[in-house]
Amino acid sequence: MTAVMPAQRPSHDCIVIGYYESPFDKYEGLLRKYGEASEAYRDLRFSFVDIDGRKMTFPDLLNEVIRQSRPDRIFERETELKSGEIPNLAAVYLTQFLAKRGLHCDYINLFEYEKDRLAEFLSRDPIAIAITTTLYVVNMPVIEIVKFVREHNKKVRIIVGGPLIANHARNFETETFRTAVEDMGADIYVIEGAGELTLSQVVQCLKDGGDLAEIPNIAYSDNGKFVVTPRLLEQNSLDENYIDWSRFDAAILGPTIQTRTARSCAFNCSFCNYPTRAGKLTLADIQTVERELDSMRDLGGVSNVVFIDDTFNVPLPRFKDLCRMMIRNKYNFNWFSYFRCSNSDEEALDLMAESGCRGVFLGIESGSPQILTNMNKAATIDKYRDGIRMLRERNIMTFGSFIVGFPGETEQTIAETESFIRETRVDYYRAQSWYCESGTPIDRQREKYGIKGEGFGWSHSTMNSTEAMAHIEKLFLSIKESLWLPQWSYDFWFVPYLLGRGIGLEQFREFMVFGNKLLALEIGNVPQRQKALLQRQYMKKMREVARDWTLIGDHNPQARAELSN
């Protein structure tokens, strides 16, 4: 009798890797090398608390409080709360984009938590691994992923693309660019800002054994020579390439999904280079958005949608039609988005509330009219003030983002920002030091404002980065009318994720009241003995808050592994 061997599953053409958040202790240690008085480290201090010698980010703190509040239950690593569990939009989008072009693809959502699954994929010899860099500002996460891939498969070709590569290509001359990307250790780099069409061409070329030199928008090494092919602008249709979420497994996706209805930004703020990178604002047709939302509803378990468009409510007539479409279809999603107070009215706000809006991210940036002018912001202080009031009247949560230290900033303009936050009482806020980035419009005005330095370390005619950080610390310790929202793996977008896991908006707020108190002990440099006593009191209160939470379990953490086998 001849034994029948089980058929081996076919290898993939490409595996797309979504997001990797470097272990916090490693990142914290890296920044600490620059000194705890450095601007970068002082900025990071707003994202963790040190309890009994353990530096915990706020997701760590949240998970620890849950463990302590229910000692009789097992709270496993797979069921921990983690913001990156939301499907990585870039990875999902690229996977479907490649599949539509006849390529066999899959994706890894969270590298740190899906290493076993990735190792299984690599054991089957895929043609390529594609690494997205949507949220990366340094090479370190890419280096770690490349190292892992090489350890498990030495012959697979590694492709890296996205904003990190596009920024390197834009900011550096060829040799410096080569040094910057070769530090990552990959094989091919996509330098086009969009890049999805280029990626599909690269994977198809590798599959067919073609010539990479014929593909535009890439950089690679060929027998020691660094090759950069000609640039060709991609114009990929949002209407033709919307995501059909019903093609993906609902058990993997979970209850909170993010999407976009537009590309680029309608404005030209002087601190931002996104419109330069992304090109002219491009909008998806409302019928396209409707088809995508229909596919989310077809999954059966989606309860929260995050629109990541930089200008979701621009243009206003389209935004109103989007809201009316959601109302007409009775999706019953909670939704969250960026929101421009300068581009709204009472009717729009009523439609938002009726269509399910639960929270908005407000890029306010400053409470000073002069600084808003310097930033080339379209909104006025009165528009922001009225917008926040009307949002509150409709029970829509508000998060205000602020920049401190922008050219022209003074102690007086910061006082105006503090007064604005106190008066408007946004639900949550965060203030960060201006980041001096090359390629932004303000960078072209260095002489006008006396700008020197770059990144976190800078000075200009009216302030320097050290002074800006001191003002931010003072703001945090002084403002009691609004709650600070940390950034590391938390941020505003963590809120809809928590809703999907069963933690309500008011429950989250109760937690953050004591979270802010714990953070104030760090920023205020409270003596250790007093700090330890207060930490115990606050942790006890947080356990009491969390004890009654009814957490929705992990959306089948074994589903991915089972689908891979």
Residue 270's φ and ψ, nearest 5 degrees, are: -75, -10
Token pair 């960060």 in the structure block, residue: 432
- Binned at pLDDT 50, 70 and 90, residue 82 comes out as confident
Helix/strand/coil percent split, the chain, to 5: 45, 15, 35
Amino acid occupying residue 434: W
Instruction: Provide the token pair at 78.
Output: 């797979």
pLDDT higher than 70, residue 157: yes
| pLDDT of the residue at 79 | 77
pLDDT higher than 60, residue 422: yes
| pLDDT of the residue at 310 | 92
pLDDT higher than 80, residue 5: no
Residues 6 or more apart whose CB falls under 8 angstroms from that of 53 comprise none
Torsion of CA 123, 124, 127, 130, to 10 degrees: -60
pLDDT higher than 50, residue 512: yes
pLDDT higher than 70, residue 560: no
| pLDDT of the residue at 8 | 43
pLDDT higher than 90, residue 376: yes
Query: Of the given ranges (1-10, 114-123, 372-381, 413-422), which has the lowest mean pLDDT?
Result: 1-10
| pLDDT of the residue at 273 | 82
pLDDT higher than 90, residue 562: no
Beta strands in 128-217 (DSSP E): 128-132, 157-161, 188-190
Q: Who wins on pLDDT, 471 or 169?
A: 471
Give the pairing type, strands 128-132 and 157-161: parallel
Distance CA 130, CA 119 (A): 15
Distance CA 434, CA 181 (A): 26
Report whether 60 contacts 82 (CB < 8 A). Answer: no
pLDDT higher than 60, residue 559: no
Distance CA 561, CA 565 (A): 7
Mean pLDDT value of segment 105-121: 95
- Binned at pLDDT 50, 70 and 90, residue 523 comes out as very high
Percent of the chain clearing pLDDT 70 (strictly above): 95
Amino acid occupying residue 486: P
Residue 190's φ and ψ, nearest 5 degrees, are: -90, 120
Report whether 225 contacts 182 (CB < 8 A). Answer: no
Report whether 315 contacts 281 (CB < 8 A). Answer: no
Distance CA 387, CA 389 (A): 5
Percent of the chain clearing pLDDT 90 (strictly above): 81
- Binned at pLDDT 50, 70 and 90, residue 73 comes out as low
- Binned at pLDDT 50, 70 and 90, residue 554 comes out as very low
Query: Counting Cβ atoms within 10 Å, is residue 150 exposed (0-12), middle (13-18) or buried (19+)?
Result: middle
Question: In Å, what is the CA distance from 536 to each residue of 60, 69, 514?
Answer: 16, 14, 11
Q: Which of the 8 DSSP states describes residue 404?
A: E
Distance CA 49, CA 355 (A): 38
Mean pLDDT value of segment 376-398: 95
The rounded radius of gyration (Å) of the Cα atoms in the chain is 24
Distance CA 437, CA 135 (A): 16
pLDDT higher than 90, residue 338: yes
Span 481-495, pLDDT tens digits: 999 999 988 889 999
| pLDDT of the residue at 430 | 98
Query: Of the given ranges (71-75, 90-94, 168-172, 288-292), which has the lowest mean pLDDT?
Result: 71-75
Q: Who wins on pLDDT, 429 or 278?
A: 429
Distance CA 211, CA 122 (A): 24
pLDDT higher than 90, residue 561: no
Distance CA 285, CA 385 (A): 32
- Binned at pLDDT 50, 70 and 90, residue 251 comes out as confident
Query: Counting Cβ atoms within 10 Å, is residue 441 exposed (0-12), middle (13-18) or buried (19+)?
Result: middle
Q: What is the mean pLDDT of the chain?
A: 92
pLDDT higher than 70, residue 227: yes
pLDDT higher than 70, residue 553: no
Distance CA 317, CA 314 (A): 8
Amino acid occupying residue 284: A
Question: In Å, what is the CA distance from 304 to each residue of 224, 307, 497, 501?
Answer: 49, 10, 8, 10
Residue whose C-alpha is closest to residue 522's, from 476, 488, 465, 487 = 476
Give the pairing type, strands 14-19 and 128-132: parallel
